[in-house]
Structure 1
Amino acid sequence: MSPRAAWRLEGLGFGEVYDYVPGKADWSASGLPTEGTLASVPKIGDGARTDVPTCSPREKVEAVRERVREAGWDRCVVVNEDRVVLGLLREKELASDPQTKAEDAMRNGPATFRPDEPAAKIAQRMGRRGVSAALVTTPDGKLVGLLRRDEAERLAELAASERG
């Protein structure tokens, strides 16, 4: 909300008004609640799994691989101490030399999407590209979770059924 809008709301008697400096687009892209006609459209943040394994860039592949498999996953997101996504370790990278550091084995700069993206749009894109999962991050690159294509498709079907 703009400073002008915050001032106007205060003038109308609203006691707790906050000026969200980054703006409306950032608010929505961060997966924060919205209102209006698009608020009910299923978004990818709704289906992102937050339990996706993460590791630091300096961890050895051997330790990461063991932890990932024990958790029942086939990939691990490499993040820094602030949970900013740096890379991705998929099955191929997890099968690499066990003594290699994650930062040396990872796929750099994986594609990421914001939580407010419509699930139907991303499901179509994932299908066209043959992608099984997508990383969901905040606008500043912090990991929200991982969206599996089947979940994106489920959310897209839900949206279609609600439209009738």
Structure 2
Amino acid sequence: MSPRAACRLEALGFQQVYDYTLGIADWKAAGLPVEGDHSPTQVVADATRSDAPVATPDEQLGVAWARAQRTGRDDMIVVDCDGVVVGRLRDPVWQQSHDLLVAVVMELGPTTVRPNALLVPLVERMQKRATDLVSVTTPQGVLLGVLLRADAEQLIAGDPPDQIWEDCDGCPGHWSTQ
């Protein structure tokens, strides 16, 4: 919010007011909660999962594969030490030597979307391209989770998502599976 809005809220008696200098568009794009019913449209954040397995570029492919298998997934998002999405692992990469580093075999620059993107048009694009998964990131590229097309289609059909937004004391909140 703007400095003027923060000052006005403090004058009205609100005690925990912060000046978010990047603005509301960045706030929404980061998937942070907003109040009100300005737009009833479903967005990517409504179906985003935070439980996707991740790998780092400096680990061995075999270690990443074992982690993927434990979660029942055959694809992984690769993040750097700051959580920024740098790649993706999926078939046929798993057929290569498991002694190779993830950095050598990962797909570079996977498609990412923001949590405030409209859900229906994204799912339509995913269907046309036969894509089952897309990374959901902040505007700075930090991984928030993944959108599975099947989950999104389920939500569009009216079924509740398998994850919830959890507020925590003193932080903006985070995604959690139910």
Same-fold status (TM-score > 0.5): yes
Number of the residue aligned with 2:81 = 81
> How do 1:36-75 and structure 2 match up within 5 A?
36-75=36-75
Q: 1:68 is matched by which residue type in structure 2?
A: A
Equivalent residues of 1:85, 1:143 under 8 A apart: yes
Q: Does the CA-based 8 Å contact 1:119-1:153 persist in structure 2?
A: no
Q: After the TM superposition, which of the residue ranges 78-87 and 5-14 deviates more from structure 2? A: 5-14
C-alpha distance in structure 1 between counterparts of 2:9 and 2:63, whole Å:
53
Rounded Cα–Cα distance in structure 1 between residues aligned with 2:34 and 2:71? 33
More strand by share: 2
- Calculate the TM-score normalised by the size of structure 1: 0.88
User: In the aligned structure 2, how far is the partner of 1:60 from the partner of 1:15?
Assistant: 49
Aligned partners of 2:35 and 2:70: how far apart in 1?
40
Give the residue type in structure 1 aligned to 2:124.
Answer: Q
Taking a change above 3 Å as real, the CA distance of residues 144 and 31 of structure 1, as seen in their structure-2 partners, is same
Aligned length, in residue pairs: 159
**Deviation at residue 157 of structure 1 after TM alignment:** 2.8
The answer for the alignment partner of 1:128 in structure 2 is 128
| CA contact 1:52–1:76 (8 Å) conserved in 2 | yes
Q: CA deviation at 1:135?
A: 0.7
Q: Mind listing any 5+ residue stretches in structure 1 that lack a counterpart?
A: 160-164
1:8 maps onto 2:8 in alignment: yes
The 1:158–1:38 alpha-carbon spacing in structure 2 relative to 1, beyond 3 Å, is: farther
Moved over 6 A (4+): none
Counterpart residue number, 1:162: none
Q: Find the aligned partners of 2:112 and 2:61 in 1 and give their Cα distance.
A: 23
Contact 1:122 1:152 in 2 (8 A): no
* Cα separation, 2, equivalents of 1:43 and 1:54: 23
> Aligned-pair RMSD on alpha carbons?
1.8
Higher helix share: 1
TM-score, scaled relative to structure 2: 0.81
* Equivalent position amino acid for 1:153 in 2: E
Q: Which residue of structure 2 lines up, in the alignment, with residue 95 of structure 1?
A: 95
**1:96-111 paired onto structure 2 within 5 Å:** 96-111=96-111
Structure 2 segments unaligned to the other structure (5+ residues): 160-178
What is the SS of the residue equivalent to 1:15?
coil
After superposition, the C-alpha distances for 1:58-86 in whole angstroms (9 at most, x for unaligned) are 11112211221232111111111221111
- Range with greater deviation from structure 2 (14-23 or 81-90): 14-23
Q: Which deviations, in whole Å up to 9, do the C-alpha atoms of 1:126-164 show, x marking residues without a partner?
A: 1122211111111111111111111112222339xxxxx
